[in-house]
Chain A
Amino acid sequence: MIERFDPLKGEKLRVIDEAGEPLAGFDPGLPDSELRLVYERMVRTRAADAKALKLQRQGRFGTYPPSRGHEAVQVGLTSAMSRGDWFFPYFRDLGMYITLGYPLADYYHLWMGNEAGLRTPDGLNIYPISIPVGSQIPQAVGAAMAAKYRKLGIAVVTTFGDGATSEGDFHEGLNFAGVFRTPNVFVCVNNQFAISVPRARQTASATIAQKAVAYGFPGVQVDGNDVLAVYAAAREALGNARDGRGPTLIEAFTYRMGDHTTSDDASRYRSKEELQEWERKDPLLRFRMYLAKKGLWDEAFEKEVQDAATLFVEKAVAEAEARPSATPDDIFAYTYAVMPPDLAAQLADLKAFISESRR
């Protein structure tokens, strides 16, 4: 299916139109219960994101990059992943974490300013958030090389923004992937802005998906506000990766509805009109209309889902805030496998200073 959408011709995969109407031919055919689960995940993601922003404004959270508008990409992609697959995220991936079962309390704990929140629970194949833009891409490729070497039959997924495609690591990573035919799925969350710099300033290519052509593997542009389009493309790309048919680049065309981070003010560089236009394309709204047309959504279901999301989020906040603060031991202990004597002396000196200053 992917190859039916030629990025060089500007063709874009879409399953649901902006009015929530299904388009013929590409519906991934998820059962009703799965469709409702996908919607629940999107609602939870939006609720968790809104709560994070509130906590930040109350001083209970550090700088935070909001996810609003990205729910279809985040939930559509990860809903198509299997347990054995690996994920190399970037820093605006809240819905991925929720869908893959990463404890929200841990995720909050990180953004509250404690590394302990980034300790992926055992059994989950999620590498930590990568903040230096694009640097997770060659790492995801190396993981896929290892998966191939070990004959694991799994896929390795990585996400990044449109700005990351300007980084050398994007080129090096995708080039390696093409040469070694690695089981990778590269997902560019093209949200039109790298902080303030628009997509047109990152590349003169008409699409990001078409860059895959030069690396010798398929690239596809999907409507990133259409959760079923993202799901359908991801499912096919993941299957190709797991079955030894090589990597795929998926460009999810979407929009960052919030600021870059809580330290940013997006009104400095984009218009109210543009934002309003994208508000109408809200991925949750579109999927809700689709579900309603299928008889899978009504007000009662909405209330049920919203209430459950509120509970889910509040529980995570309470849990995260109840966690103990990091101690001096915590911030020294993980520098080396075995602490060098000199570092132990520095830790002892810090502790001595702390106890002296408390006296």
Chain B
Amino acid sequence: MIMTMVQAINQALAQEMEKDDRVLVLGEDVGRDGGVFRATEGLFERFGPERVIDTPLAESGIIGASIGMTALGLRPVPEVQFMGFIYPAFNQIISHAARMRNRTRGRFTVPLTVRTPYGAGVKALEHHSESTEALFCQIPGLTVVVPSSPYDAKGLLIASLRSDDPVIFLEPTKLYRAEKQEVHDEPYQVPLRKAAVVREGKDLTIIAWGAMVPVARRAAEAAEAEGVDVEIVDLRTLSPMDRETVVAAAKKTGRALVVHEAPKTCGLGAEIAATIGESALLSLNGPVMRVTGPDITVPLPKSEDFYYPGPERVLRAIRKLMEY
């Protein structure tokens, strides 16, 4: 069926809940309202209030309760309404979910998937445009996933729900309804920890994820008109990272450009640049370059365009790197 990313996410949740009664959804407005983006629409009617739980407004409570549920064998899918509101739950995520397996030498694991809308580009209020994925990528034990298409969103979410590790599943709000795509009706998995080469090229490699993948595609199309053949790697799982695919793609073209909307300093681009530097230095024709958000707070809608990397900024960087 042709569907949007938010529909694909909804279908993944419904199908996994149908298949496995250990899977349940909890969070703010996920029940009767179907979630503020409608990602859980219809689940309350179908699975009832015991499995689609409208909770009090308390992020640490939602994640803490989810961790406790895993102790008794459940596989909860808590939703945090926006990534900017996940910080009260940091203690539960970082101090407990991420390390319970290690702390108990494997006796207790925390198979939960925290879903949260993420990223800028939708002209929202403050705190509704955050892309602080790098904060989670530094935490051992967490798996951080970002889909960039409806097809991947369904397959990656199903893989996350079946994973025995805690997963932070970041859903780019800009892509929720941006494009429709053919998505298999039956459940399927897109493997975690596996990046995808979504565009083959020979001159320069862009590494991107989430809403920056379509931005990179548009930049690549423009570059093609200038005779530059761009390869694009969609990272998909940010941590643990598929370094093999990243390094191979960088070696192939000899030029690597990381594009992310998060601020530059200590963003995941730095880790990717270091990885390429460590493993592909002698294959490079120039430095690993980055197009990122600046090191400022995401501005309110009137100035968001100054912040948000678009195809023109990426194209400018492509030209610079080709001329290096």
Contacts and interface: CB of A to CB of B under 8 A. Distances in A.
Given A116-B105, A128-B108, A135 B91 contact: yes
Contact of A168 (B55, B60, B63, B100): B60
A336 B237 CA distance: 14
Contacts of A168: 60, 88
A34 to B, nearest CB: 29
Given A135-B92, A335-B141, A337-B165, A141 B105 contact: no
B165 A144 contact: no
A334 interface: yes
A128 B60 contact: no
B240 A343 contact: yes
Contact of A142 (B69, B140, B243): B69
B164 A337 contact: yes
Name the residue in B24, B71, B243 with the highest tally of chain A Cβ atoms < 10 Å from its Cβ. Answer: B71
Interface stretch (A173-181, A195-203, A291-299): A173-181
Nearest to B97: A139
Interface stretch (A10-18, A40-48, A145-153): A145-153
Q: List the 4 closest pairs (A to B, CB-CB), nearest first.
A: A142-B68, A138-B64, A142-B65, A172-B61
B107 interface: yes
Interface string B244-284: 10000000000000000000000000000000000000000
A130 B103 CA distance: 10
Contacts of A143: 68-69, 71-72
Interface string B45-69: 0000011010110101101111111
Nearest to A336: B165
Contact of B73 (A146, A172, A330): A146
B137 interface: no
A62 to B, nearest CB: 15
B68 A138 contact: yes
B243 A179 contact: no
B72 A147 contact: yes
Interface in B188-233: 193
Interface residues of B, number: 47
A85 to B, nearest CB: 12
A342 B68 CA distance: 30
Name the residue in B56, B74, B103 with the highest tally of chain A Cβ atoms < 10 Å from its Cβ. Answer: B103
Interface in B133-154: 140-141, 143
A5 B199 CA distance: 71
Interface of A: 86, 88, 115-116, 118-120, 122, 127-128, 130, 132, 135, 137-147, 149-150, 152, 156, 168-169, 172-173, 175-176, 179, 330-331, 333-337, 340-343
A334 B105 contact: yes
B96 to A, nearest CB: 6
A169 B60 contact: yes
A179 B49 CA distance: 13
A140 B55 CA distance: 16
Nearest to A120: B107
Contacts of A115: 102-105
B278 to A, nearest CB: 11
Name the residue in B58, B64, B67 with the highest tally of chain A Cβ atoms < 10 Å from its Cβ. Answer: B64
Name the residue in A139, A144, A176 with the highest tally of chain B Cβ atoms < 10 Å from its Cβ. Answer: A139
Nearest to A175: B56
Given A138-B60, A175-B56, A337-B165, A127 B92 contact: no
Interface string B69-109: 10111101000000000001001100110001111111111
A142 B56 contact: no
Contact of B65 (A116, A139, A334, A336): A139
B34 to A, nearest CB: 20
A342 B243 contact: yes
A176 B164 contact: no
B68 A139 contact: yes
B183 to A, nearest CB: 27
A115 B71 CA distance: 18
A315 B102 CA distance: 27
Nearest to B95: A132
B104 A119 contact: yes
22 contacts: A88-B68, A118-B105, A130-B96, A132-B95, A135-B64, A138-B63, A138-B65, A138-B67, A138-B68, A141-B65, A141-B68, A142-B66, A142-B68, A143-B69, A146-B68, A147-B72, A149-B50, A176-B58, A330-B105, A334-B105, A336-B240, A337-B109
Nearest to A130: B96
Given A138-B92, A342-B243, A169 B103 contact: no
Contacts of B163: 337
Contacts of B51: 149
Given A138-B60, A176-B56, A334 B68 contact: no
Contacts of B92: 135, 138-139
B85 to A, nearest CB: 14
A128 B107 CA distance: 10
Given A172-B56, A175-B61, A337-B165, A140 B68 contact: yes
B74 A137 contact: no
A120 to B, nearest CB: 5
Nearest to A119: B105
B12 interface: no
A337 B159 CA distance: 14
Contact of A172 (B24, B64, B96, B107): B64
B58 A172 contact: yes
Given A143-B68, A143-B72, A337-B109, 17 more contacts: A118-B105, A119-B107, A132-B91, A132-B96, A138-B60, A138-B63, A139-B68, A142-B64, A142-B68, A145-B68, A149-B24, A168-B88, A169-B60, A172-B61, A176-B58, A341-B243, A343-B240
B91 A119 contact: no
Contact of B71 (A86, A330, A333, A342): A86
Contacts of A116: 105
A335 B55 contact: no
Given A128-B108, A149-B50, A337-B109, A139 B67 contact: yes
A152 B69 CA distance: 13
A341 B100 CA distance: 21
Nearest to A140: B68
Nearest to A132: B95
